[in-house]
Structure formats: structure tokens, C-alpha cells
Amino acid sequence: MRSRAEQFYYLDTNYLINYLSFKHDLIAKRMSIDRDARTIANSVVKSLSRRIKIPFIVISEAAGKFMEHEINIGIIEVFGDLEIAFLGRELIADFSSILQDLAEMDRRLEPMDCMIAAFSIASPECLGLLTFDSKLIENRAIKNIVEEKYPGREFLVTSDPRRS
């Protein structure tokens, strides 16, 4: 059983796909993955090893993208070594509130981006969201929500927490 103080970084869908493309060439080929991004994702995930989790929403979006690109790899083979993050019942109201606020504060964000960011912010075990999406990195709405709802909490949105 994990101690309550243990903290994790959550992966955004684009980060997960880049990481998986390092292990599965079919993903890299069919989805035209950038070589630098996949190398960074692999390096960061390997260096943080057991401090990484995948929000279940990200698994769903990634599966949809794989279907879209006709990538047929078994789910256990793809996601088997990754830990999936869920929110407890007591955090659902926080998630919903953050999701609503984020969607209203930054209309540039896609609905899935709002859900993934809100999920990550609502989770007390999440240190930050790893992504290559420039709309999420340095996002003012995300920073404002974290400052307002969780004063003093450090929440990082970056492609590489080792450099932040």
C-alpha cells in the first residue's frame, strides 16, 4: 500500500503516445511521431520510473487515436507497465468544478485537454502534467485555478520536469 505522501506526474495523451512510440515503431510510423519528442518522453518516463501515472481519460483518448490510425496493438502490451490514475468519489466535485472553470476561462482548450488538466489538478497526488501541448504549458487559466483553489500548491505543466 502506498503512503499518502507519495506524489506522481500524470501524462497527457500526446506525451503517452510519444512514450509508447519509442517502444512500438508501428505507432511512430502510423502517427508520424517527432523523433525528439519521443526521445524526451522516453527519457523522462524512464528517469521518473515509478513516479508516473496515466489518467484513465488519457487511456481512452489514446485508444481512440490508435483506432483512428489503424494501430492494432493489444491493450496489455501497450499499457501493461503503466499505472492508471483514478479519482476517488470525494474528489469528483472538485474535478467537476475545475473542469467548468477551466472550460470557461480558456476557450482555446479542447474538451479533452480541459478534462485531463482538471483531473490532474483535482488529484492531490499529482505533482504536475507532462505534455508537449503548448496550449497547456504556461497556461494562465491552469495557474489561476491552482492558485485559487489550492494556495501554496506547486503544480507543474511541462514537457520535462527535470529542467523546470
- pLDDT tens for the chain, 164 residues long, are 444 578 999 999 999 999 999 988 889 999 988 899 999 999 999 999 789 999 999 999 999 999 999 998 877 677 777 899 999 999 999 999 999 999 999 999 999 999 999 999 999 999 999 999 999 999 999 999 999 999 999 999 999 998 86
CA distance 162 to 71: 31
Provide the pLDDT for residue 23.
Answer: 85
Q: Is 63 exposed, middle or buried (0-12, 13-18, 19+ CB in 10 A)?
A: middle
Provide the pLDDT for residue 164.
Answer: 67
C-alpha grid cell, residue 83? 499505472
DSSP 138: T
Sequence-distant contacts of 146-151: CB under 8 A, at least 24 apart: 146/121, 149/94, 149/97, 149/98, 149/121, 150/121
Predicted TM-score (pTM) of this structure: 0.91
C-alpha grid cell, residue 59? 487511456
Q: Give CA separation, 33 vs 45, 54, 74, 89, 135, in Å.
A: 17, 20, 20, 36, 19
